[in-house]
Structure 1
Amino acid sequence: MKDAFGAPQSLLVLGGTSEIGLATARRLIARRTRTVCLAGRPSPALERAAAELRELGADVRTVPFDALDSASHEEVLCKIFTEGDIDMVLLAFGVLGDQARDEEEPLSAVRVAQTNYTGAVSAGLVCAGALQAQGHGSLVVLSAAAGERARRADFIYGSSKAGLDVFAQGLGDALHGTGVHVMV
């Protein structure tokens, strides 16, 4: 549960090595968040991130999570929620891709869309359901300015973020009155 000042006590970061996600976690730990779960692909970087947050005083654990493995999302994420309430989920994963390569290799472009949009839809719906079941919490979805306006330099990435924005806004509307808040 959030503390008396409204600060979340527990945080789940999807995309556990995201620089923005980790900066947010550091800021929340400074404001009394005590439990952090970093969900990401197993790597030395994920373990270093966990160690850094532990040094700040948080109880931190890592969980294997792959945005591209939507079939595993329900099992992996629901298990996290069965181990205790999560006050805030920070959806912080995504890939920029390489616009020139992605235009030449459509499967590369599909990977960008699957990570940034399909993976986020899957993980977002699972987490929203778990937050709703516990009766409270926030889903914070990190997007990008590229989703606001198509540009030649990154329209594949931008289109995936635009879809994510609309999904998150609609999910927020669907959860109105449930005790769960969605913020893009």
Structure 2
Amino acid sequence: MYDIKAIVWMLPVLFMIHDFEEIVMAEAWSKRFKRELEENTSVMRKKPFGLNGTNYWSTSAMSVGVEIEFVILSLVSLLSCIFSSYFIWYGFLFAVTLHFILAHFYLCIEFKHYVPGVVTSVLFLPVCVYIMYVFQLLLKYSFVKVFLSCILGIVLMIVVLVTLHDAIGKFSRLLAEYSL
């Protein structure tokens, strides 16, 4: 009924479509809401897209970070298909799903305006939940195995995102210096 290996490839596909929204909209969004983002009264404690005063990540720098994330998710999907082991893949899918809720829904509610990535988060959240449900039916993971997979996925995704966010900021500064 379900081709598990085809479903596995939905993770990098959904991720890329979601991040295309961020890549396309982040710079224009940062300019449109510049005043709101710079005000001390802004409710956003952590500014998205590397915003710091009037600086934000360049589109090209963001694209490099997205490319690296895409490669990581594609490798996880490929290795899951090759070895028919979905423990880490399931954890990454859970982490991406959680990212939709915690990063985009929360930021959108907190900011009270559109935040890049929220449209695809709304569209893809039910898809991701359904995929996790289907995988649970197919793999019959115990609660403990699902829990451990999700915790591992969250930890790995945090490490990847923190590392990439730091690298994107540095790469953005390098590109700015190079262009002078």
TM-score normalized by the length of structure 2: 0.29
Q: Which has the higher helix share?
A: 2
Task: Specify which structure has the higher proportion of strand.
Answer: 1
Q: Which structure has the bigger radius of gyration?
A: 2
Of structures 1 and 2, the one with the larger relative CO (CA 8 A, separation 6+) is 2
Question: TM-score by structure 1 length?
Answer: 0.28
